Chain A
Amino acid sequence: MNRSQLLKNLDTLCGDLSDYGRNKGRHIPADAPSGLCSRLFLSHSMADAKLPTVCGSGVLLSASAIAANNGTSVPVGCSEAQLGTAAFVFFYVAPFRYPNTGCGFLFSAELEETHRADGVCSPFDSGGLVKHLIRRDPSEPPIAFLNRHELPVPEHRRYLDLSMQLLFASPGDYLTGDPSLPGPIGLSGGDRRRWTHEVRIPDRVELRGGHLEAVFARRTLVIRERSVRELFQWCSSTNVSTVPLESSRADDYNALQTACIEYIREKLY
């Protein structure tokens, strides 16, 4: 989709959301802080088994690129194939969301600036459209629904800012809570991914490309896996944060998410 259409989508969705808020009696406070929204990091998490390879190669790859490297192709039934998004690397503009509890990367918001021409956003997890999210009009094909809601980067943050101000009791609830209003998009079901902005960058994102903000991994993994340790060492020499996680010993399997939320609060609040 070309950028002018993405900008049109943005104007339409922002208009709809403003009208929705007005009808619900919601107003944006004059002193509403906008720093959190504009600086909120992009997150990408994964299972532990993938981390050594990613650290060794120094790059996050799209599903298509990974399949091509393995001499295969993306399965036709998967959501990316159905929605035409397999050639992108996916990020949430949020803390690490389920399902990955192992390790992850945060990138600065400036990554979007370098992908104005080819990056794209949807104000929900696109894969959910063919899985757990329920659309108001099920006769509309998921890909058509997605196309109507695709937004330009980094301008999608204008819509995110409106959402955080109008749909949540407090803007910070976007990170850890639920919205107090469902919003005008017309999706239901699923979980936090229903309102989490998803940014897609084509093909590949370099870890050492200047936008890496922080790396989170189990401390044992950093010590045991050479490529992970070498990335952590590089990070510490280049002002990129490293967050080693302790293994679970007390029935608490929230370590990655908790550490990520704490990191965001420390850096952006």
Chain B
Amino acid sequence: MNGFSEVSDLEVIGYGNVLTSTMLPSVEPPVYRFRDDPDQILVPPFSLHGNLVIGATIISGQEAETLAFRGEITLFATPLTAQPGFVLWIDLDGEVRYELRRVAEAELGRIADEALARAEHEFLRDLNAAEHWSGVALSADDRRIEPVALKAAVLIQRGDRAGAEYLATLLPPSATRRTFEKLVQEYLSMSRRHIMSNVASIRPVAAAA
């Protein structure tokens, strides 16, 4: 167990998790190593306070390699210079991003906006795609309630009411169940309206026939 280390003495050699493509984008804890002692690896859990990494565990380079081999952590081919105030995250393409927190937050917010818009668009056409994009929006910003509500609407459309009900227990801390239910109903109404307008556009053809 390490007390604290200065970020400016470190480089980032990986992150303390392994992800699949369906879990992206994702903010992850860096795995650090000392620049002047590359066999001293700092692994999470820990917290960052300004230029300090507090409470990390120090392991050897060999153990880090073993953990990577076992699929417990991910190591990079090339290390990054560790910087205070930076966030490590993995983007939708699986690329590693290491940026100032405000830059990362802005980019994740943009991804969440775009993914949600795409999910809402796909909800009227392709439930699988809607489910995927609602998940992307949620991963990009898990404080948002709309992706959860949209996912619930997808489950209802598929006949999985129990699954949709369960999602109501998984709301962001700031969200209320009432808002969630209202949003789900809005998405379902949107779908019904879309179906009705499609039917309406078919009728003249049928009448003409």
Residue numbers in B under 8 Å from A233 (CB-CB): 162-163, 166
Q: Which of B42-50, B113-121, B182-190, B191-199 contacts A (4 or more CB under 8 A)?
A: B42-50
Interface string of A229-241 (1 = CB under 8 A from B): 1101100100000
A132 touches B63 (CB 8 A): yes
Question: Is there contact, CB below 8 Å, between A253 and B44?
Answer: yes
Judging by beta carbons under 8 Å apart, are A178 and B138 in contact?
Answer: no
Name the residue among A192, A219, A220, A232 with the largest chain B CB count within 10 angstroms: A220
CA distance A78 to B71 in the complex (A): 13
- A225 and B22 contacting across the interface, CB-CB below 8 Å: yes
Within 28-75 of B, Cβ neighbours of A (below 8 Å) are at 29, 43-49, 55, 57-60, 62-63, 66-67, 69-73
In residues 75-102 of chain A, which contact B (Cβ within 8 Å)? 75, 78-79, 98-102
- Judged by a CB distance under 8 angstroms, whether A131 is at the interface is yes
Do B1 and A191 touch across chains, with their CB atoms under 8 A apart?
yes
B142 within 8 Å of A (CB atoms): yes
- Asked if A246 and B173 sit within 8 Å, CB to CB, the answer is yes
CA distance A219 to B59 in the complex (A): 29
* A49 & B19 in contact (Cβ 8 Å cutoff): yes
Residues of A within 8 A of B148 (CB): 223
Contact B60 A131 (CB under 8 A): yes
* Complex partner residue of A99 from B16, B22, B27, CB under 8 angstroms: B16
Q: Chain A residues with Cβ under 8 A from B49's Cβ?
A: 251
B172 proximity list for chain A (CB < 8 A): 219, 246
Question: Is the CB–CB distance between A220 and B138 below 8 Å?
Answer: yes
* Contact (A254, B18) CB under 8 Å given A49-B23, A50-B71: no
Q: What separation, in Å, do the CA atoms of A19 and B46 have in the docked complex?
A: 37
| Docked-complex contact A49 and B18, CB < 8 angstroms | yes
Contacts of B169 in A (CB 8 A): 236
CB–CB B29/A244 < 8 A = no
How far in angstroms is the closest Cβ of chain B from A70? 11
Q: Is B17 an interface residue (CB 8 A)?
A: yes
A256 interface residue per 8 A CB criterion:
yes
Chain A window 247-258, contacts with chain B (Cβ cutoff 8 Å), 1 for yes, 0 for no: 111011111110
Chain A residues in 8 Å Cβ range of B26: 247
In the bound complex, how far is the Cα of B138 from the Cα of A222, in angstroms?
A: 11
Chain A residues closer than 8 Å to B1, beta-carbon distance: 178, 191-192
Q: Is the CB of B20 within 8 A of A49?
A: yes
B144 to chain A, nearest CB (A): 11
Q: How far is the CA of A230 from the CA of B167 in the complex (A)?
A: 11
Contact call B170/A222, Cβ cutoff below 8 A:
yes
Known A48-B23, A49-B20; contact A99-B142, beta-carbon cutoff 8 A: no
In whole angstroms, what is the CA distance A98 to B59 when docked?
10
Using CB atoms, name the residue of chain B closest to A46.
Answer: B72
Which residues of chain B come closer than 8 Å to A248, judged between CB atoms?
A: 27, 29
- Given A47-B17, A236-B166, A256-B45, A99:B23 Cβ within 8 A: no
Selected from B20, B22, B45, the residue in CB contact (under 8 A) with A253 is B45
Contact B43 A251 (CB under 8 A): no
Verify if A224 is at the interface (C-beta below 8 Å from B): yes
What residues of A have a CB within 8 angstroms of the CB of B139 in the complex? 220, 224, 247
Contact with A along B106-136 (1 / 0, CB 8 A): 0000000000000000000000000000010
Q: Is the CB of B17 within 8 A of A247?
A: no
Query: Which chain B residue lies CB-closest to A178?
Result: B1
Cβ contact within 8 Å between A251 and B57: no
CB distance from A127 to the nearest CB of B (A): 9
- Given A192-B1, A223-B138 in contact, is the A99-B170 Cβ separation under 8 Å? no
- CA–CA, A225 and B62, complex, Å: 33
Pairwise interchain contact B57-A253, C-beta atoms closer than 8 A:
no
Excluding A47-B19, A178-B1, A192-B1, 7 further A-B contacts by CB distance (< 8 Å) are A49-B23, A101-B29, A223-B138, A224-B139, A233-B166, A248-B27, A254-B46
Question: A residues engaging B (CB < 8 A)?
Answer: 46-50, 52, 75, 78-79, 98-102, 131-132, 178, 191-192, 218-225, 229-230, 232-233, 236, 244, 246-249, 251-257
- B residues sitting closer than 8 Å to A (CB atoms) are 1, 16-20, 22-23, 26-27, 29, 43-49, 55, 57-60, 62-63, 66-67, 69-73, 101, 135, 138-139, 142-143, 147-148, 151, 162-163, 166-167, 169-170, 172-173
> Would you list 13 pairs from A and B whose C-beta atoms are within 8 A, ordered by A residue?
A47-B71, A48-B23, A75-B69, A101-B45, A223-B138, A224-B23, A225-B23, A229-B167, A233-B162, A233-B166, A251-B101, A253-B16, A253-B47
